[in-house]
Chain A
Amino acid sequence: MVATQETIDKVKEVASSYKYGFVTELEAEKAPLGLSEDIVKFISKKKKEPQWLLDWRLKAYKKWLAMDEPNWAMVNFPKIDFQDIYYYSAPKAKPKLNSLDEVDPELLKTYEKLGIPIKEQEVLAGVAVDYVFDSVSVATTFREKLADKGIIFCPISEAVQNHPDLVKKYIGSVIPISDNYYAALNSAVFTDGSFVYVPKGVKCPMELSTYFRINEQNSGQFERTLIIVEDNAYVSYLEGCTAPQRDENQLHAAVVELVAMDDSEIKYSTVQNWYPGDKDGKGGIYNFVTKRGNCLGKRSKVSWTQVETGSAITWKYPSCVLRGDESVGEFYSVAVANNAQQADTGTKMIHIGKNTKSTIISKGISAGKAQNTYRGQVQIQKNAKGSRNFTQCDSLLIGDQCGAHTVPYINQHTPSARVEHEATTSKISEDQLFYCLQRGLNTEQATSLIVNGFCKEVMKELPMEFAVEAQKLIGISLEGSVG
């Protein structure tokens, strides 16, 4: 069953306005600046969490204290002062402006190009608006429909209260608290995120998106998502937003864990468009994310699709652990870096079970002075007989001041496995541009068309409406990079 477009629009309208805040009964409380054991306790208490979760957070905090920031990625940024961050604050209302006239005209231009309605523009830009939510019932209906099928879709904080056994069993099971520096930090201080559970044999009838995740406060900079899909079940999850989002929090360190049982499938799509900062990258978001899918079950499948256009720095490697025999992992990625943006992104495919299969299609686009690195690991362990990986890694350079780097790590411990790696680097040719111009397209249209052509294999993996928006977005992020 597919929701009608009208319903989707309506829900988006209602839910997205909600998502961006202006819920009235906010607690105006804030934890003191910095991070300590007390802060972790404070967060846990605020969320009325059970003791086990507090213990888990504290353990993560201790691990984090003993860890060092990773320095292997090809990104440069000033050292982050982790004591200069607020780790808990009631969802903040964004700085209030009185009207759109006070908003950065550049931002408005972008909204216009994306076709975002005025009302939504106001909300996104943080203009003081006083909307009345006359109906959240559409969204509630969706939730009920999901509940009918036994699907749980709610904020993870709510799941901690209502489904503690599931959360306890799976949280940290895919990404252990000590996995890496940012994951440990997230485990200690995560504020909220999504929880999805799809029971045996259930195919989730609609794409779950954060748009639908109502009754939830801004999940902040340390978001935590957990998705569990039982035998023979299926879910498609959409994350993100194409509108450029400003956030006062510079550091974002999310964790996403996926668990797929026998014959199940999880499709996880992301469009990330955090504020990249100005032309020199000032004020942009640092996006340090850990995402991993555990293909526990036989013939299970986890598929990551991402379009990354935002952030000053992106550090992100959605990965698959292919434990179940014949399980399948996929990674489709478009990473755009313009101006001073730095992207170090890629994936890890860990083949453990027999006859496991993985596909990696990575498209990196660099423009301006940007640096774009693909970093991918394919590991075929001893027992992963008959396993296969195919990696295709293409880079497109626009201009001659940017860089593209491909760093593949291949560890193969089984002779019967097959690993293929193809990599290309190309430029938009003058012939191509002239051909498009001669047909009346301007330079920007032409670039966007050629770039979108370059990304096509990835874009076609995105759900339809998302793909259209993502396509526009890529065009916009590259504006001014040619000619």
Chain B
Amino acid sequence: MSLLEIKNAHLKLDDKNILNGVSLSVNKGEVHAIMGPNGSGKSTLSYMLAGRDGYELEEGEILLDGISLSEMEADERARSGLFLAFQYPVELPGVGGMSFLREAVNSRRKFLGEEELDHLAFVKEARKEASKMYVKDEMLKRAVNVGFSGGEKKRFEILQMAMLKPKVSILDETDSGLDVDALKIVSDGVNAQRNNDNAIVVITHYQRLLDHIVPDFVHILSDGVIIKSGGPELALEVEKNGYSGLINAA
């Protein structure tokens, strides 16, 4: 059974068809890349999966570990193990990074029937994971995403992913706005979390991220449908010929 199953997903925004029958199966231990030009519906797909208000399916079905997500609110999906690293992480003025992480982790633990971590144990764990992402203590004291640089925002997203240990992670343009060094840190962080029980869906416009996070499968999204799927070599084809060649061929 797939860990994440998207069946024939249709979605409209403002009466405009954005997703036009996306289907995708992601198994445990796999990394999938979804590539596509701007406006092809990549972020819409990720919001739909995460259960954002207004992104309800018109038609189709999504299953996480065999359980239908359609009736679940966003928070329930998250606690069930679905994580979205945002293309544009949102600022939360006055909300300290450490407290935010703790609330999130404890919500997930509670859902899993695990005990909440006590304060000290939590801080220790958070610092350990943070240092791997080159996130300094000082940054965790600051308000979530407020005044963070592009790189800091993305590192903080991946830190949250590391702390939450989701079943399925969707990374929406996690490479955008990153310089070479930051790209390496973020990719190492993601790779460290690859294991046989989880799955990662990397959404990206560019091939360069896939040099660092090497996917098992690559899918090309265009106008809200997957027009082609293949192995990592498909990303190289995009790199060489651009999207237009593939889209025209489809």
Contacts and interface: CB of A to CB of B under 8 A. Distances in A.
B103 A441 contact: yes
Contact of B75 (A440, A449, A453): A440
A437 to B, nearest CB: 4
A133 interface: no
Interface stretch (B19-27, B58-66, B104-112): B104-112
Contact of A440 (B78, B90, B143): B78
A437 B73 contact: yes
A452 B73 CA distance: 23
A76 to B, nearest CB: 32
Contacts of B107: 439-442, 445
Given A440-B107, A445-B103, A449-B103, A434 B93 contact: no
Given A431-B90, A443-B75, A453 B143 contact: yes
Contacts of B168: none
User: Taking chain A's interface residues, is the majority helix, strand, or loop, or is none over half, making it mixed?
Assistant: helix
B78 A437 contact: yes
Interface string A451-463: 0111111000000
A61 B127 CA distance: 63
A435 B160 contact: no
A445 B111 CA distance: 15
Most buried by A among B84, B103, B143: B103
Interface string B62-90: 00000000000111001100011010011
B100 interface: yes
Contacts of A445: 103, 107
A453 B164 contact: no
Contacts of B93: 453-454
Interface residues of A, number: 24
Contacts of B74: 434, 437-438
Contact of A439 (B51, B94, B104): B104
Interface in A412-441: 429-432, 434-441
A432 B90 contact: yes
Given A443-B75, A445-B103, A449-B100, A438 B50 contact: yes
Contact of A435 (B79, B89, B94, B143): B89
Contacts of A434: 50, 52-53, 74, 90
B75 A442 contact: yes
A138 interface: no
Nearest to A457: B94
B13 interface: no
12 contacts: A431-B90, A432-B92, A435-B92, A437-B78, A438-B78, A438-B83, A438-B86, A440-B79, A440-B111, A450-B92, A452-B94, A455-B94
Interface of B: 50-53, 73-75, 78-79, 83-84, 86, 89-95, 99-100, 103-104, 107-108, 111, 143, 160, 164
Given A432-B92, A440-B104, 5 more contacts: A432-B90, A437-B51, A440-B78, A440-B108, A453-B94
